[in-house]
Amino acid sequence: MSELDLSGLDAELLAKYDRPGPRYTSYPTAPQFSTDFGETAYRERLREAARRGDEPLSMYVHLPFCHERCTFCGCNVVISPRRGPEEGYLDTLERELDLLAEALGDRRSINQLHWGGGTPTYLSPDQCERLFGAITDRFPLTGDAEVAIEVDPCVTTLEHLATLARLGFNRISMGLQDTDPDVQRAVRRIQPLELTREHVDEARRLGFSSVNIDLIYGLPRQTEASFRRCVRSVVDELAPDRLACFSYAHVPWIKPHQRQLDEASLPRGWDKLRLFTTAASELVEAGYTFVGFDHFARPGDELARALAEGRVHRNFMGYTVMPAADQVGIGVTSIGDVAGAYSANLKKLAAYERAVAAGRLPVERGLVRSREDELRRAVIHRLICTLRLDLGWVESAFGVDPREHFADALAELGPMAADGLVEIDDAGLAVTPTGRFFLRNLCMPFDAYLGPMAAGGPTYSRTV
């Protein structure tokens, strides 16, 4: 998308559609996972995946440790100011890798490897090398594999970057959140732009093919003017290949530490949306392609090219151009997607380590997708990744009459069409420029689980 049309946005439209809703990195979403799905069910799915021959896998590795907690954080982390626990964790990861390799038999190659956290570079360079070797000894990378890592420049050394480049990491994502010192103090994440620039420059010198920057809008003390300055400084001084501008998810009922934030200083409603539209306008004007949701990419970046060619996919790691039929998760809280089922590892570090030490795959909960789930999952992902839904494609791919099958959803989308968020005709749906800012809302009519959960209390962050 080379142009951005904000003419249809106003405070009234936002007030109508700003409500809690999923981010749709999966469907069904994580609240639907059940403890009825455990290790036995997961092993059955791994056996099925093993029969798919040499088709590459995707692997996510969760490294939960942080020296201290940022007050905006929504990740699953373990705060450990003193080093030591990570060595035992690496031992456990190696045991889990052995269990997984045994279950998958000869199906071992990986075309997408992603380290997230926490702070993956909490590990020392030597520990990073140890873990990388443990993974690739058991699960070799394909020649064109995407090998990515999330880093915090505040704790990442230049030695870290050199080690990661030598090992074969080719994509690096640096959390920045905001460049404004007042905002940084409010969220307890002091990170001078000069430090991030030093790391970006070194990553490029070392040959990383893609350098990404993560920002967050909706943080305390952010204003439209301050966030415009932030985005301009990131574009001018860092020039990232990709940029994610995430909505701050204020969920203190899930993350109690967020109660430490001054709620009165949190931008809300129209003020919050204006932060994102300001960022989007600046990025599109600077030449970035609006990929979807909260992701932007330079036209020459592989993600932007994949969008133009209809090759963008979405999984737990966000937008990707390296799809794999099965994604395995390693580490505490990791989520996998294997042979038609989601699996989620244990959340508590001690319980996770005990399970693996006992020779068990540390699955706590999950979900086996039904045919109906697969249908709705495909429809939602199609909308997110292509901004269209061809009803003829639905009928040919799933053998259902989409007009009848999704009659309720189409009826619910009718008022959204009247509000200019989507165009509906006999062929299907097309998301409008205004509708791109309400993608979560446009997916929600196809979500069969939202109604039954409505009375269960707060579950999701707000859609804007």
How far apart are alpha carbons 76 and 159 in whole angstroms?
26
Of the pLDDT bands very low, low, confident and very high (cuts 50, 70, 90), residue 82 is confident
Tell me whether strands 110-117 and 57-63 are parallel, antiparallel or unpaired.
parallel
Question: Lowest mean pLDDT: which of 226-235, 266-275, 402-411, 416-425?
Answer: 266-275
Which regions of the chain carry the CATH code 1.10.10.920? 1-27+369-452
Read off the pLDDT of residues 36-78 as tens digits, 9 standing for 90 and up: 999 999 999 999 999 988 899 999 999 999 988 888 777 788 8
pTM: 0.92
Are the C-beta atoms of 221 and 188 separated by less than 8 Å?
no
1: pLDDT strictly greater than 70: no
Helices (H), 51-174: 85-104, 125-138, 158-167
pLDDT at 456: 46
Strands (E), 185-302: 210-217, 242-247, 289-292, 295-297
- Spelled out in words, what is the top-level CATH class assigned to the domain 1-27+369-452? mainly alpha
Average pLDDT estimate for 196-210: 97
How far apart are alpha carbons 266 and 259 in whole angstroms?
12
284: pLDDT strictly greater than 60: yes
How far apart are alpha carbons 9 and 315 in whole angstroms?
29
Q: Which residue would you say has higher pLDDT here, 154 or 464?
A: 154
- Spelled out in words, what is the top-level CATH class assigned to the domain 29-328? alpha beta
Which regions of the chain carry the CATH code 3.80.30.20? 29-328
Q: What proportion of the chain, given as a percentage, has pLDDT over 70?
A: 97
- Which residue shows structure tokens 């994440």? 189
Mean per-residue pLDDT over the chain, rounded: 92
Residue type for position 430: A
